Each structure stands twice: as structure tokens, then as C-alpha cells.
Structure 1
């Protein structure tokens, strides 16, 4: 997976959150002092366990780290989803949610559920991840709703 594709998926995950809250996310270089959310891929010595179990972690308002030992996948719509290939977009949305201040949810099929679930329909085909109404309500309780005519705040994140 190339840097170009990784960055595109991370931007897409930020855009999903930006669509429902009054924040515009801007990508900056990794050493930019204005970066508020740092995105990195790390290995075991960073608290990861290798393949499986812990896929990523985040600290509110600070960072999102992905386990570089995982088999990350960027799925296309309706592509077959296979066990062992982790959807980067789903995990990025989830971890950015934590970075924005959300906790895990008990709501079934929520992107913020504690455990990763392959984003597939009953036939095993990829289903694009989305924010359930409950998640939108939770994030808007922190930031408020996105109002198209308002001057929206800006949060910056660093590139991978």
C-alpha cells in the first residue's frame, strides 16, 4: 500500500467526521508544529501485539497510531472481504472518533464499537462504513452540528 493511498484513506476518514461537525481538517507535514492529531504506523515496541487483537489506538486530541504488523486493506465497493485483511478506512474512522473525544459504543454496528467487525454484507461484500445516528449525536454533543453557512473551525493533522 503506497503513501498516496494511505493518505487518501486517512483524508477520507477525516472528511466523514467533518461532514457532521463544524470542523475542517487540513493535512500538514509531520513536523508542522500546528498539527493537532498525529497519524503514524508503529510496531510492537509501541504497545502493539503483532497481527490481530490490537489494531490501532488513539489519544483524544493528540494522536492516532496504527499497528504496522496488520494486513491493512483498502477495499472497493462490493469487493469480497476476507478474514485477516483489516479495512483501513473503518479503523481510521473509529480511531479518529477517539481522537475527537468519543468512547466505545454498545450500539450494534456502530463504527465506535469496541471490537473490529469486517464491514461486509450478508454475502461477504464490502460495505462502506458510515456513522450511525447515535454516533453523530455523540460527536455533535461535543462539537455541535455542522452548519453550512457558519465559519467552521479548523483542526490540522499531519501526514503519514
Structure 2
């Protein structure tokens, strides 16, 4: 329980009494997202790359399409992404370094928040992978993939291999190299329980080039 983890409790997504299913995006399969701010110690381009890759992962297994509308005027995004410290105008205050890393909220809230007091990284170099393995920084790609799962309505999965596992445990391979955690069949099955199988091949999220209505249905990570 002292390990870094998702801020969401292991209470499951509530069931919609009208549909008998967990809360979900009822009518939308094309969702937009935008950054409200960036983490000051990580390159903005890498933050946007990590988030885009996370959305792409869910797109492939769900059939959702995502578009980055950061900086586009007169567009209200479905999903709002930002880095915040301690209490920040939602029901779940962050707790400083370590502990809770991030939290997302069940549909159709659209809030996705990361703890600004944590150091964040992206696994694109040998040095960054070593830093991730030693927990000098936390993997924004892994954590954002997990949180986007909550934003889409997916619960925690009690299996450490799954991206929707609540705990954060960076793992080396047999050679001591950092393993980038990937989506599993368990994650795929979980989202398809809500939205059905993906009849297409998935579509990568779209948006600008990578450059230097809240409901009380909470799920934080």
C-alpha cells in the first residue's frame, strides 16, 4: 500500500441503472483532448508524445478515435489533461512526492490529472529507461495509459501484468533492462465488456504536430 499507485480506490465503476453497464461514453466514439498545462521539468514534446501514444493504445483495442485539440480556439475538449499539486479543485487532493501518482474520472467527466510534485519521464533513451527502473522518474506513458482507461470507464484489474493494475512496479527483464508495460488481453477484454469488440483495426489519435461538466463518478489513479 506504500508503493506508488493509482489514486483511484479499488471500488468499481458504478453501474448505470438505465443500461446495466458501467458508466461510459454513451454517444461518442470520437473524443477530443487538450493539455491545460505541462510538467515544468519534462519536455512538452515528450509529454504530448506519451499522451498521444497512450490514446493510440486504447484506440486500437476499442475503436475509439482521439484528437489532440490543444491550442485550438473555440473547441471544448472532451478530456482535459493537466499537472497539479495537492488540492486542485476536484474531490481528490494529491499527496506530494510518492504515493498517488495520478487520477482520472469515469465517463463522461473527462478530467485526467497527474501529480505535479512527481518527476516524470518517457522511455525513449537508455538513460531515461534506467531512471525509470530506479524510480528517479515515473513513466508517463504507463501511468497515462492506465488513467485513460479510467476516463473510458475501465476498472482496476487485480493482475500485475495488466495496464489497469492499481500499483506501479517498474520491472527489469532478465538482462536488467527496463520493460515498457504494454496492454494485455485482460485490458482489451475489460474495455470490450463495456463497448463491445472493435470491428476495425483502430485509428491513431490525430492532432497538431508534436512540438517543443463533472459528474460525481470518480476514478483516480
Task: Flag the 1:146–1:48 CA change in 2: closer, same or farther, 3 A.
Answer: same
Q: What do the CA deviations read for 1:31-80 (whole angstroms, capped 9, x no partner)? A: 65541111111111221111100000010131110001101111127632
Bigger mean CA deviation after superposition, 28-37 or 133-142: 28-37
Task: Flag the 1:140–1:32 CA change in 2: closer, same or farther, 3 A.
Answer: farther
Q: 1:37 aligns with which of 79, 83, 87?
A: 79
Structure 1 runs of 4+ aligned residues shifted over 6 Å read none
RMSD value over aligned CA atoms? 2.6
Q: Which residue of 2 aligns with 1:64?
A: 112
Bigger mean CA deviation after superposition, 107-116 or 13-22: 107-116
Q: 1:143 aligns with which of 195, 198, 220?
A: 195
3-state SS of paired residue (1:57)? strand
Q: Which residue of 1 aligns with 2:164?
A: 112
Q: What do the CA deviations read for 1:4-40 (whole angstroms, capped 9, x no partner)? A: 1101110000000001111110011366554111111
Q: Which residue of 1 aligns with 2:180?
A: 128
Q: What do the CA deviations read for 1:104-157 (whole angstroms, capped 9, x no partner)? A: 11113211111111143244422222111111001111122222279x8x9x9x
3-state SS of paired residue (1:44)? coil
Q: Which residue of 2 aligns with 1:14?
A: 55
- The gaps in structure 2 that reach 5 residues or longer are 1-41, 208-221
Residues 77 and 127 in structure 1, CA contact (< 8 A), matched pair in contact too: no
- The gaps in structure 1 that reach 5 residues or longer are none
More strand by share: 1
Q: Which residue of 2 aligns with 1:100?
A: 152
Separation (CA, whole Å) in 2 of partners of 1:110 and 1:32: 37
Q: 1:48 aligns with which of 94, 99, 106?
A: 94
Separation (CA, whole Å) in 2 of partners of 1:32 and 1:127: 40
Residues 72 and 85 in structure 1, CA contact (< 8 A), matched pair in contact too: yes
Q: TM-score, normalised by structure 2?
A: 0.63
